Amino acid sequence: MIRRLFKKKSSQSSKLDKFLDKYNIPREYLSINRKSISRGVWVGLFWGFIPMPMQMAAVMMSTPFLRFNVPLAISMVWLSNPLTMPAMYYMEYLTGNFILGRESTITIELTMAWFSEHLDDILIPLYTGTAFYSLVISTLLYLLINRLWITSVKREHQARHNRRTSTTLS
């Protein structure tokens, strides 16, 4: 099912082929297969959880080393957007405090003055929580997508086999 969802989005248009050939872009960057899709999700979420500017540039710089579906990875980075960032980073900060065994006694204000005064207090817990979420959550989703893809392929093969045997018996 998940495999079929991604395969339906795939198009073999001649315009796309001409574009890829003209700019010498490897097909793996747009391919739709289990490894490419799951790696794209992993890379996109990994960079998306990290509070830094230019997350999409970090995704693009990762492409030659990991070979994944780039549009999917970039869309996964967009999960951390101006609406979701405060909640994500606060959750990462609290998780970092929990991992470090510290208590958060600071009342947080969403002002630049507050952040400039308390940057030293929040930086280590924030990036500790960030490391946890970037590695653990992205890896769990990577494994989940791999498992769902494999299960989907097995079900399709089983359904095809059942259809063949039912028509042979009829």
Q: Domain tally for the chain?
A: 1
- Which tokens belong to 112? 């630049």
Report which listed range, 13-17, 92-96, 157-161, is most confident: 92-96
102-111: per-residue pLDDT in tens? 887 677 777 7
Res 6 pLDDT > 80:
no
105-136: per-residue pLDDT in tens? 677 777 788 878 888 888 999 999 999 999 99
More confident residue, 169 or 86: 86
- pTM (predicted TM-score): 0.79
Q: Cα torsion at 56, 59, 63, 68 (round to 10°)? A: -100
pLDDT band at residue 24 using 50, 70 and 90 as cut-offs? confident
Q: How far out from the chain centre does Cα 71 lie?
A: 11
DSSP 22-84: HTT--GGGT--SHHHHHHHHHHHHHHHHS--S-HHHHHHHHHHHH---HHHHHHHHTTS-TTT
The residue range of the domain holding 136 is 2-169
Pick from 10-24, 40-54, 121-135, 154-168: least confident: 10-24
